[in-house]
Amino acid sequence: MTDTAHALGASRTLWELVERRAALSPDTPVLLQDDRSLTFCALRDRAERVAAGLYGMGVRPGTVVAWQLPTRIETALLSFALARLGAVQSPVIPFYRDREVAFALTESKAEYFAVPGVWRDFDHTGMARRLGAKGVFEAYDALPEGDPAVLPPPPADGTAVRWIYWTSGTTSDPKGVLHTDRSLIAGGSCLAHALRLAPDDVGSIAFPYAHIGGPDYTVMLLLYGVPAVMVEQFALPEALEDYRRHGVTIAGGSTAFYSMFLTEQRKQPGRKLVPTLRLLAGGGAPKPPELYHAVVREMGCQLAHGYGMTEVPMITMGDPDDTAENLATTEGRPPESMEIRITDAKGSPLPVGTDGEVRLRGEAVCQGYLDPAQSAEVFDADEFLITGDLGHLTPGGHLVLTGRVKDVIIRKGENISAKEIEDLLHQHPAVGDVAVIGLPDQERGERVCAVVEQPAGAEKLTLETVTAHLRAEGLSVHKLPEQLELVDALPRNETLRKVLKYKLRERFA
């Protein structure tokens, strides 16, 4: 990280970070969308005017404002305006519908709710009215504005809870995750430090800005003074025009995004998809090693994958200058400010190289959940967050994730890692994507089931073909799947396209 970025990373609040970057790089673009551009100075000035408009509506420091908005320049402006006021904001993924939105509004006690009106053929304003939401206002093309002279001083305490994010989809019920400005700055600093940004880099925000990755990525832009292209509705090949026009050098989002880029690249082998692209980067879901090698080999760029979650926006990140082995098989290393402890089920630390539960402590870790009972369950006696993930640390300090506690399949008393089987199946050409789950079995306790999404034109897989491939790859016999299900598409959430295994368990149990 550069000296300037390091100094900016010490900012107490997000608004302080905005002001300091605007003073350093007033005319440098920060957000690009279609033919529009917003500079760092304009971000500061327009956000202050929007803050004044919100103040005129009655929004005050501490007021809870929920917003369910797509990835747009206006969304970022509204969010930073709320940060300027010191309001508590609760971003809601724009694909959520009545049940999830009602839950978020009720649990957060939101006093205002910003919506995009009719977006992608869905009437968000109508839903808000139907749910009896308070203070509903539309914030798509137009935002409320006023005279910044009316504003109170900006917030000075970066450790106050001002963000309520919602876990998004690997379990059926979301949790309200409490963050501070400082925890979000710490998460973005980890990302910025790992990706080794240069002054001429151009990033991309193709995922929902309401996801925890929104501030994570924006903090990175503020720390390094570089821009990013915002994509309201990400699809390929449609997004490529903007990527090429703006010279995007860093793209990605999650494993599913890498696969989408790779699929598009394979339509034109030998011709680089985005000429300026040097790096795919992201996190949020496991990355098969074969996918790393395919991207580097076929797309002619590097791939750096990381590990984060709503509770901790960035934990580790791959370093583009690391070895191919580490980039393919690990989640990277944590920054100095993140402590990773690998423990047994009782919380006792385990030696390097030994698999166990992943626990975290550091400034990027959330303050807990809206429900105090949930907070009490997730922190141990040493104030480490219990992630529910399994893995180990290498002697070099890299983190290797081997699955989730809930993904450990116990067959006849033997523990089986779903991820190990998934990584091997990803190497089969007739496998587009796969999820391995444990299903209740009267004789075995659990049986191993592989649910496969095949690429177009692939020969139909059979259980015999799958087990023969796994045997050839050296998988132990007791880990072989006993059930194979072929699906047109694996169920995914709408943020980083993470596979929803609980839905597969419900369907095939």
Of 244, 250, 242, nearest in space to 203 by CA: 250
Give the integer Cα–Cα distance in Å for 425 and 452: 9
Whether the pLDDT of residue 169 is over 50: the answer is no
- Kindly state the tokens that stand for 393: 């640390």
Q: What is the pLDDT of residue 2?
A: 79
Q: What is the pLDDT of residues 462-478, one digit of tens each?
A: 999 999 999 999 888 88
The answer to whether residue 348 scores a pLDDT higher than 60 is: yes
Q: How many CA atoms lie within 13 A of 327 on its CB side?
A: 23
Burial of 67 (0-12, 13-18, 19+ CB in 10 A): buried
Which domains can be identified in the chain, with CATH numbers?
A: 8-182 (3.40.50.980), 412-508 (3.30.300.30)
Q: Is the pLDDT of residue 168 over 80?
A: no
Produce one character per residue of 413-437: b if its CB has 16 or more CB atoms within 10 Å, e if not: eeebbbbbbbbbbbebebbbbbbbb
Transcribe 4-47 into DSSP letters.
Answer: HHHHHTT-SSHHHHHHHHHHH-TTSEEEEETTEEEEHHHHHHHH
Mean local confidence (pLDDT), 436-457: 89
Inform me whether the pLDDT recorded for 117 exceeds 70.
Answer: yes
Banded model confidence at residue 361, pLDDT cuts 50, 70, 90 = very high
pTM of the model: 0.85
- Strands 176-180 and 161-166, by their bridges, are antiparallel
Residue 172: band (very low, low, confident or very high) from pLDDT cuts 50, 70, 90: low
Q: Is residue 1 pLDDT above 80, yes or no?
A: no
CA separation for the pair 14, 51 (Å, rounded): 14
- Specify the higher pLDDT residue, 44 or 337: 44
Question: Per-residue pLDDT tens for 279-302?
Answer: 999 987 778 899 999 999 999 999
**Contact (Cβ atoms closer than 8 angstroms) between residue 303 and residue 296:** yes
pLDDT of residue 495: 67
Residue 446's pLDDT band (cuts 50, 70, 90)? confident
Q: Is the pLDDT of residue 214 over 90?
A: yes
Q: How confident is the model at residue 114 (pLDDT cuts 50, 70, 90)?
A: very high
Tokens 């692939």, residue located? 458
What are the C-alpha distances in Å from 410 to residues 142, 442, 443?
54, 12, 12
pLDDT of residue 170: 45
* Span 259-263, average pLDDT: 92
Helix (H) or strand (E) holding 227: none
Are 191 and 217 within 8 A, CB to CB? yes
